[in-house]
Chains A and B, each alone.
Chain A
Amino acid sequence: MSLSRSPSLALMGLGIRNQWAYLKTFILRNLFLIVILYVFASLWKKVYADRFEIAGFDLCRMVWYLVVTEAVIFGKSELWPTVQREVKDGTVAYGLVRPLPYPRIVMMRFLGEGALRLLPVIILGSLTARLTAGGFPSGVAGMASGLLLSAGALVLMAQMEMLVGLAAFVMEDVTPLYWILQKIIFIFGGLYFPLDLYPARFAAVLKVLPFAHVAHWPGTVTVMNGALFLRAAGGQVFWGVVLGLIILTVYRGSIRRIEVQGG
Chain B
Amino acid sequence: MKTVRMLAAYFKFNLSSGMAYRASFLMQVFGMALNNAMFIVFWRVLYDHAGDLGGWGFNDVMFLWALVAAVYGLGQIFAGNIPHLSAIIVSGDLDVYLTQPRPVALNAACSRMAVAGWGDILYGIIVYAFTQPLKPGPMLLFLLLSILGAIAMAAARLIFHSLSFWLHNAEGLVFTLDEMLLSFTLYPPTLFPPPVRALLTFAVPSALVAWIPAELFRSFSAGKMLLLLAADTVLVLAAFGIFQLGLRRYSSGNRMGARI
Contacts and interface: CB of A to CB of B under 8 A. Distances in A.
A46 B169 CA distance: 38
A186 interface: yes
A28 B176 contact: yes
Interface of B: 21, 23-24, 27-28, 30-32, 34-35, 38-39, 41-42, 45-46, 48-50, 53-54, 116, 169, 171-173, 175-176, 179-180, 183-184, 187, 190-192
A46 B191 contact: yes
A197 B45 contact: yes
Given A35-B176, A46-B53, 18 more contacts: A29-B171, A29-B172, A29-B175, A31-B176, A32-B175, A39-B184, A43-B46, A45-B191, A54-B49, A171-B24, A173-B21, A173-B27, A175-B28, A176-B27, A177-B31, A179-B35, A188-B41, A198-B45
Contacts of A187: 38-39, 41-42
4 nearest A-B residue pairs (beta carbon): A176-B31, A28-B172, A183-B38, A179-B35
A39 B191 contact: yes
Interface string A178-197: 01101110111000110001
A259 interface: no
Nearest to B34: A180
30 contacts: A25-B172, A28-B176, A29-B171, A29-B175, A32-B176, A32-B180, A32-B183, A35-B180, A39-B183, A42-B191, A45-B191, A46-B50, A47-B46, A47-B49, A47-B50, A172-B21, A172-B24, A173-B21, A176-B27, A176-B30, A176-B34, A176-B35, A176-B116, A179-B31, A180-B31, A180-B35, A183-B34, A186-B38, A186-B42, A187-B41
A89 B120 CA distance: 30
A139 to B, nearest CB: 27
B46 A25 contact: no
B183 A35 contact: yes
Contacts of A10: none
A197 B47 CA distance: 11
Contacts of B116: 175-176
